[in-house]
Chain A
Amino acid sequence: MSDPAIVVDNIGKMFRVYDRPVDMVLEVLSNRKRHRDFAALTNISFEVGKGQVVGLMGRNGAGKSTLLRIISGTLAPSSGAVRCAGRISAILELGTGFNPYYTGRENIYLGGLCLGLTRQEIRQRESDIIAFSELGEFIDQPFRTYSSGMQARLTFSVAVSIDPEILIIDEALSVGDARFRLKSFDRILDFKRRGKAVLVVSHDIDSLNILCDRCILLSRGSVVADGDPNAVGKCYHELLFGSTTNAKSFALPSQGAPHENLTPYSAGSDGQAVESLVFDRNESAAEHRYGNKQAFISSVTIVDDSGEPVTRLQMWARYRCRLKIEAHEDVPDFVIGFLVRTSRGITVLGTDTQSWDKTDFPRKLDAGMDYTFDISFLNNFAAGTFFVTIALGQIDGTKIDVRFDCLMFEVVGTGRFYTASLATSMFSFECLSHEKRGK
């Protein structure tokens, strides 16, 4: 592999917090510490190769934006170093380098000059930028009058127009409409094909799954997981909804398909080990399991009409997903969730018992009891491989046992649907009339 586009080498960022502004002056004068340190980032190391799209996940305040600002060069790290090969274009907030009182067109010039283009170069790109942003006649209106989606469109259009080696995007895409999102996805994938590096922050796991080759999960200023987007996405899910927010809990052993090759690595070169998980692509669909273990989902199978377990499903046949649950403690108001996703982690379908309002269903799991549940469904999935996620939780959101991608099934198809199809339906084509025109 050629040299990486971005090398983040053991970055740390400390912010000094002063209680009063005067403390800063006194500190400079007296040489005595009068601030508290706040560690926003600690021992962050990773590389982004050319032609790689890397997603950054993490809860609010995890340090994503700080990290992006350091990489883009607008913030100096307290320790460590960042090396970037080539021109960087960063969208850190809406309206990068834009003046809200100028029109869109004036901002294209100002933004382009700020990003290092000459007037001549901007003139050449102006019409492309306007066309890509689809702002049309609004381009001569002041920027502050734009909706946030329009602002995002113009910002993105200008940022990609300079044709950077490295593109950094901080949640700017989330406000665009679906059409623009698709367009910008295309543009990002085009960047990737041309060997550029892209770094994206998003809270939308599905988008990152589609877009990224790799994801990095940050928690409290450290990298806790790095690797396949789907696998890291599941860690992020646990971080968001799991009972503990401790990174160590990712090492939770799962009964179905344990992460044997789950290798914590040392991110700190100075021997100060920061445990984080590394996933490669073939672990994408490996089961990820978390929960407070008041009850266990001990087995998940799909059975056909005769009750035989199957993994190859016929199109349009009825099947049952059979769950065995061992309750270790009393679980009132429990909910069972059922989710089907693709191998890239894109949700095809999801539902839960709460949504179906079953009256003949037990309200509560009793300690020491074993339960068997059947989820009956009509197989409308298209030919391909799918993964079942079963979640046992409570109405208040407590997660008891969540088994991401615990079961794989394959749908054998008829040749009637395109191969990229995820779902099917019964089709019939009819010709309602045919008569000669022009009478």
Chain B
Amino acid sequence: MHRFFSVTANAIALRSLLRSVVQYRELLWEMTRRDLVERQAGLAFAGFWIIGQPLLMMLVYVFVFSFIFDVRLSVSGSRLDYTAFLLAGLVPWLAFQEAIGRAPTCIVDNRSLIKQIVFPIEIVPLKLVLSTLVVLAIGLAFPLILTAYNATAKPLAWLLLPVPILCHLALTIGLAFAFAATGVFLRDIRNVVQLGLMIGLFVHPILYVPNMLPKWVNMLFLLSPFSHVIYIYRDVIFGEFSHDLSWFVAPVISCLILMIGFRTFQSLRHKFGDAL
């Protein structure tokens, strides 16, 4: 088990990942761009499906929880407070879900590239995650605007926003690599991941107001790395730093998952040719 956490192996993996990103930055940019705006595999409105769909989902959740269930953060809290709170967790989750949901099939879908040319295949999971940055950017604007509107905003805290975003990216990229690689050999991974993502929304601190929950549930949330990412997103957006533990755990565990995920991918990639 200790080799998972081997510092040198992880550092080497991270370096080779960075090198490949630098070397193929144009290809990565091109593929990400096409993923977003162009006719991906014949879809007429690829851009809509990738950006519009998560935005529509946001709207549905906000409508159901803020307006139908009329959830408030506290008895005296306003409806918009909760909406901002909800979106601060939901937007990263939807971006995460979008990337991870596509990861298990991304290599298989691009098999023509892998079979025929010496293609830097690590670009494929990367572009999946990077293309969700657009959703994230557009989505995060809403809670920021809402807090500003409520005059509860602390814009100076927003300068820290890159920290949760980087943690989020590292975590998502790491998992995307792991699922992309294993999904080549076992197509069932896709179903497992989709089920996991469906359940995931309810086992992360996204919809729930913390003081409404039993203490053990809040403790349970801490087991998932993504909970920590959500906590630090909220801390930054609301400018209230109440999750000291997460500020330590989120960067460490995200980097670890990134490196282990990429190493899994690297160790399996030479066998992709056999399975495709």
Q: Which residues of A contact B (CB under 8 A)?
A: 15-16, 21, 24-25, 69, 72-76, 88, 90, 92-93, 95-99, 101-102, 109-110, 113-115, 118-119
Contact = CB atoms under 8 A, between A and B. Distances in A.
A72 B117 contact: yes
B30 A74 contact: no
Listed from nearest, the 3 A-B pairs whose CB atoms lie closest are A75-B273, A76-B270, A113-B27
B243 interface: no
Nearest to B113: A97
B158 interface: no
A113 B123 CA distance: 12
B116 A97 contact: yes
B116 A96 contact: yes
B15 interface: no
B187 interface: yes
Contacts of B212: none
B19 interface: no
Interface of B: 24, 26-27, 30, 34, 38-42, 112-119, 185-188, 270-271, 273-274
Given A97-B113, A101-B39, 6 more contacts: A74-B116, A76-B271, A99-B41, A110-B30, A114-B113, A114-B119
B118 A73 contact: yes
13 contacts: A15-B274, A72-B118, A74-B115, A74-B119, A76-B270, A76-B274, A88-B118, A90-B116, A92-B117, A113-B27, A113-B30, A114-B113, A114-B117
A207 B270 CA distance: 34
Given A74-B115, A90-B117, A97-B116, A69 B273 contact: yes
A88 B273 CA distance: 18
Nearest to A13: B274
Given A74-B273, A113-B27, A97 B39 contact: no
Given A101-B39, A113-B26, A118-B26, A76 B116 contact: no
Which of B41, B116, B274 neighbours the largest number of chain A CB atoms within 10 Å of its CB?
A: B116
Given A92-B116, A93-B116, A25 B186 contact: yes
A293 B34 CA distance: 64
B268 to A, nearest CB: 11
A101 B26 contact: no
Contacts of B187: 21
Contacts of A96: 116-117
Which of A90, A97, A101 neighbours the largest number of chain B CB atoms within 10 Å of its CB?
A: A97
Contacts of B27: 113-114
B30 A109 contact: yes
A25 B26 CA distance: 38
Contact of B118 (A21, A74, A93, A113): A74
Contacts of A72: 117-118
Contact of B115 (A69, A118, A119): A69
Contacts of A25: 186
B226 to A, nearest CB: 26
Contacts of B30: 109-110, 113, 119
A93 B115 contact: yes
A295 B24 CA distance: 65
B118 A76 contact: no
A16 B118 contact: no
B216 to A, nearest CB: 33
B117 A101 contact: no
A376 to B, nearest CB: 53
B41 A24 contact: no
A118 B116 CA distance: 20
Which of A24, A74, A101, A119 neighbours the largest number of chain B CB atoms within 10 Å of its CB?
A: A74
Contact of A119 (B26, B41, B188, B274): B26
Nearest to B274: A15
Contact of A97 (B42, B117, B186): B117
Contacts of B112: 93, 95, 97-98
